[in-house]
Structure 1
Amino acid sequence: MSNSKLLQVARAGAMAWTLATVAGSAAAENGETPRYGGALNIGSVYVTLSALSWDPYDWNWKVNHDTGFYFEQLIAGDLSKSRKNGGKHRFVADASLPSDGLRGELAESWEWEANPLALVFKLRRGIMWPEKPGVMKTREFVADDVVFSFNRLNTSPRKQADYFDFVDRVEARDRHTVVFHMKAFNAEWGARFGWGYNSAIVPKELVDAGPSNWKNATGTGPFQIAEFVQGGFQTYVKNPDYWDKERIGNTDYRLPFVDKVTYRTIKDTATQLTALRSGKLDILESVGWRSVDELKKSAPTLLWSKRLSTLGQYVALRVDSKPFDDIRVRRALNMAVNKDEIVAAYYGGNAEMLGFPMYTDWTGYYQPLAEMPPSVKQLFTYDPQKAKELLKDAGYPNGFTTKMQFCTCSPAHGDLAPMIAAYLEKIGVRIELQPMEYGAFLSAMTTRKNAPMYLMNKGHTNPTMTIRTNFVTGQLWNPSQWSDAAFDRKMADVYATRDEAERQRMLREMTVHMLDQAPYIWLPTAYLYAAWWPWVKNYDGELSVGAVRPGPIYARIWIDQELKRKMGF
């Protein structure tokens, strides 16, 4: 599609309204009393994907999303500090929690010990593993469960290299105390084994029974899985023995409120929207901006929240090969892409010019474009004449020809790839586009055989990991093949730094440096929306209490079934 045609299409569909976030008011302020019972049907942020694994041992990125209903962790996000409860946190980031927004989950408390360095967790007493016929009898959750889970994960052949190397060993000091003995301090300890992608606590009895079989699954969390149909749905039912409570007003209520939660797997957008409009979905967690205007007209009582996508996007430029080993070429390509036009035309204004590698919600780490030095701002300013001059200075007065891969799994990239190619052709850079299926596309990167230009999405994860995985030598998710020994040493220093304010300063400097070096063509990050019906209570668009783990959020939602009936559903 040509740039002019794209502009015409986008402007024709541009929205003439400004979306105001309609937050779900705190129940205590409304004087509402929680109600038990009913079912919650959700089109999640991964509504197109069924579960990919049921066993944390597989080190699969999505496992918390599916097992986090019943597997718990030592630490979780503190939802009492969410915006709906008068706090400052939205809990929408995919795998990052603020340091002042944590609570013990299976852990009651934790503290550091010195000489030798250790992190000591005091566990909650009286939490029970529920009985699971053929798998285990009911028994208390104890420190040995934490030790077993960590050691098992640490011996997985799929474990990420160096992930737990800063931990010397884990031991049970007594029945309710776990000690993580450290070789060295690592600032990312919470994301590694506290509340991250690989932090679930799993009973040995389940492993013995067969952890990859969802029918064997059991855990201490608010729900237990009851049914799974690949490509269709997965249903979780209330755990009647769940230990946690929610304080509303001056009353503590046992959780969960609803009897059942169902994830619906729906592949296409039109069917997702129909399911929401018809009330078959109570919540649809990801709605693209093009659909919002129509939904507001056809279902005007829906409530909304807006967030920046947790997937940054860019075109990686292989700095280990010509011509992209020359910073002048990389900067030229950035200036040749009209990013303002992409935001205005392609996204209808629903995008952030600078939304990666740092996420806008990461206070202290994220710096807006307006605060960046002129050399960084230049990369986001459309200047094809300057781009041509830089190419000439680099020895490419007539441009060059290269290849760009992109994944057919992303409809947006099917539009953006030719658009970017059209921009670059204006400065003499001719792009051969190579669309690829997801498996081949991912394999190209992980085997370091990706094309010189590689258009992709990547999760922000957290403030340290986003810099490490994208720009540290040899990292799997480093498609530009960026390698700088001095930068690697700075990253190691960040992990060794205990003071968060100092880490923030260091990472801000490192982010500016990498933006300036332009190993990527930096592209805008889109905004997404969540929509839900008014009968969904105690909810404000929260998505995760750890790494893609929403189970405790759903446990705190209740359904006003009388209101639902009055609304005709």
Structure 2
Amino acid sequence: MPEPTNFDSGLRGQGGALVDTVYEQYMGVDWTRGPAGSGVTNFASGANTLEDNYGPRIAESWETTEIGVWVLNIRQGVRWQKTSTDAGRLMNGRQVTADDVVSSFKRLLAVPTSWMNVGQPRAAKAASIEKTGPWEVTIRTPVDPMTSFTWLIQGAGFNRVYPPEVVAKYGDMGDWKNAVGTGPFILKDYVVGSSMTFVKNPDYWGRDLVGPGKGNQLPYINTYKELYVPDLSTRLAGFRTGKIDMVAAIVADDAKALLSANPKLESVTYMENTPWGITMRTDKQDLPFKDKKVRQALVLATDYQAFNDYFGGDSDFDVWPINKQVAAMYEPLSAMPQAVQDLYKYNPEKAKQLLAEAGYPNGFKTTVVVPSTPGERVDEVTVFKEMWSKVGVDLAIDIKEPAVYNSMNTARNNAEMSYRLLWGAYAQQLYFSPFSTSSTNNPSYINDPAGTAPFYADLYNEVGQYIFIDMPKAYETYKKLKPVALEEAWYIMRPTPSTYILWWPWLKNYMGQGNGPFRFHQSWIDTDLKRAMGY
């Protein structure tokens, strides 16, 4: 797991260290749709449809009386954790109320640095909440209902329920020792650069909804530890020796070596829903990228087959704007118009021709911002650099430390190009975040300023007619996006390699459903089996 950047995730616009362990949202991933239930979604890469996120949490049930109006019925019997800290004593295990939900929501709306306000300022500014019954709250989101659902209702903006008395006394939740939530685990200890240790919340409200433990009190695990082991070889050694029960985000070569050496290991393979790619400042009139021919030339100058070889022959470049795991919204490149298909076939001569037509017969120089860690990001951009040099494009690599790099990406203020994660998950695509003017998820400035690419705003409005009303129709309408977006060549994609999750068979009721904390609520360790296997 990555080192936490802060412990007040909702307020400070970054991180997420205690999400789903200590702090809970109104609704979240519906475990009954996962591999222990219907199997509709395996959750290895996250939720893949809107319906995957309808699972009840603090809100026992909810309804939309009209588009943009959300009535939440707050679960009774949920209690604040009884921790041994001053903050825990302040809350004293009292019952969570509708007033707590209102207080948390208003707090995040009021602070400019909250992730709600940073990520979706228009939606946040227009939102409001009120208590409309003893156990009922009503949230109104008149701007962009789909965006608002994801960020303000479902919880993408780290919208969790925070303890109001603790906030009132300490100002924020930035000190980990003040962490008091409603979740299945209590934060017991944090060692900077090493680990976070959680213990079971004995008063947790949740029960196992499906599978062999259906009806049981959750969580099963008494102690849950997140280790920060940035060195891959150390992480794999810990897993190999049984000191680590599960590892995620393992590349194919390493995974295959582990599986060969330990045939009893369990595994699943998946693709990350947030692919990497090179973004361009298409808003700057003095840069080449304003010209579609230049962007198309860069696509044609990218040898995706060679990139696939770079990843050991186990990758897919047909991953944007959505990949094949999001089946309801996906159409393959092979179904696109022939001209679009041809654009994604390596053709350096055609690339040179387009550059010449755009006024760059000898190519041009440009700079891409790249994070310093992990080191493979620089290696990957070096592959782009070598390919593009063959058509006269001289790509300089500007390596930035993580804090500077992340700040630049949030503000979208890189000078020319940036190598970064791109939002390809279903939710961000349905609310067109990568195509929405000033969104932080729109690093190539598509339709920014507004009106420069009206197709995307028009299609967003068309899809929006069916959101929460006829989702199959919404998914089908969304498919109009891909051929246009690919032909416009807004991003130069890096192929996404297959990724593996591996776990030992003693991790029970775990079926490869990702590595987010909520995935372990329903799991337990079979200590007898672990000993029998010699660990």
TM-score, structure 1 normalization: 0.84
Matches within 5 A, 1:316-331: 316-319=279-282, 320=284, 321-331=286-296
Shift, 1:434, TM fit: 2.4
Match of 1:68 in 2: 20
2:344 aligned with 1:380, yes or no?
yes
Change (3 A) 1:89 1:163: farther
| Stretch of structure 1 that moved more, 104-113 or 451-460 | 451-460
- Asked whether the 8 Å contact 1:405–1:450 carries over to 2, the reply is yes
CA drift of 1:184 comes to 5.1
Structure ranking higher on relative contact order (CA contacts 8 Å, 6+ apart):
1
Distance of aligned partners of 1:104 and 1:275 in 2 relative to their CA distance in 1, 3 Å threshold? same
The answer on whether the counterparts of 2:34 and 2:41 sit within 8 Å (CA) in structure 1 is yes
Query: What is the one-letter code of the residue matched to 2:45?
Result: A
> What does 1:265-344 align with in structure 2 at a 5 Å threshold?
265-319=228-282, 320=284, 321-343=286-308
Decide whether aligned partners of structure 1 residues 86 and 448 sit closer, same or farther in structure 2, where only a CA change above 3 A counts: closer
Q: Which amino acid aligns with 1:171?
A: E
Aligned-partner SS, 2:44: coil
Which residue is 1:421 aligned to?
385
> Which residue of structure 2 lines up, in the alignment, with residue 231 of structure 1?
193
Unaligned residue ranges in structure 1 (runs of 5+): 1-46, 545-549
Following superposition, the deviation at residue 366 of structure 1 comes to: 2.1
CA drift at 1:375: 2.5
In the superposition, the TM-score normalised over structure 2's length comes to 0.89
| Pairing partner for 1:153 from 89, 92, 108 | 108
Determine the C-alpha separation between the residues in 2 that align with 1:104 and 1:113.
Answer: 18
Does structure 2 retain, via aligned residues, the 8 Å contact 1:55–1:212? yes
Say yes or no: does 1:437 pair with 2:401: yes
AA of the residue aligned to 1:333 = L
AA aligned to 1:162 is P
Displacement after TM superposition at 1:436 (Å):
2.5
The CA deviation at 1:239 is: 0.7
1:194-250 deviation digits (Å, cap 9, x = unpaired): 332322111212213432111121122111110101110001101111111114458
Q: Cα RMSD over matched residues?
A: 2.4
| Alignment equivalent of 2:150, drawn from 183, 188, 191 | 191
- Residues 225/449 of structure 1: CA separation in 2 closer, same or farther (3 Å cut): closer
Distance in 1 between the 2:339 and 2:376 partners?
A: 29
C-alpha contact 2:21 2:517 (8 A) present in aligned 1: yes
- Are 2:161 and 1:201 equivalent residues in the alignment? yes
- Cα pair 1:187 1:497 within 8 Å, conserved: no
Change (3 A) 1:237 1:325: same
SS of the equivalent of 2:327 reads: coil
1:162 is the counterpart of 2:121 = yes
Alpha-carbon distance in structure 2 between the residues aligned to 1:260 and 1:315: 41
Indicate the percent of aligned positions where both proteins have the same amino acid: 28
Distance across 2 between alignment mates of 1:171 and 1:386: 59
Which consecutive unaligned segments of at least 5 residues does structure 2 have? none
Q: Is the 8 A contact 1:166 1:186 kept in 2?
A: no
User: Are positions 1:490 and 2:458 aligned together?
Assistant: yes
Matching residue of 1:366: 330
Q: Quickly say closer, same or farther: Cα 1:256–1:179, change in 2 above 3 A.
A: same
Instruction: Indicate the residue corresponding to 1:347 in structure 2.
Output: 311
The alignment partner of 2:329 has SS state of coil
Deviation digits for residues 47-98 of structure 1, max 9, x if unmatched?
2x221121134243431x4332121111121112212334211113357653
Rounded Cα–Cα distance in structure 1 between residues aligned with 2:325 and 2:514: 14
Relative to structure 1, the CA distance from residue 190 to residue 492 in structure 2 (aligned partners, 3 Å threshold; closer, same or farther) is same
Deviations 1:347-366 (A, max 9, x none): 11221111123143223222
Match of 2:525 in 1: 559
Show the counterpart of 2:353: 389
Q: Which residue of structure 1 lines up, in the alignment, with residue 99 of structure 2? A: 144
Say which of 132, 138, 150 aligns to 1:179: 138
Whether contact under 8 Å (1:209, 1:216) holds in the other structure is: no
Q: How many residues align?
A: 514
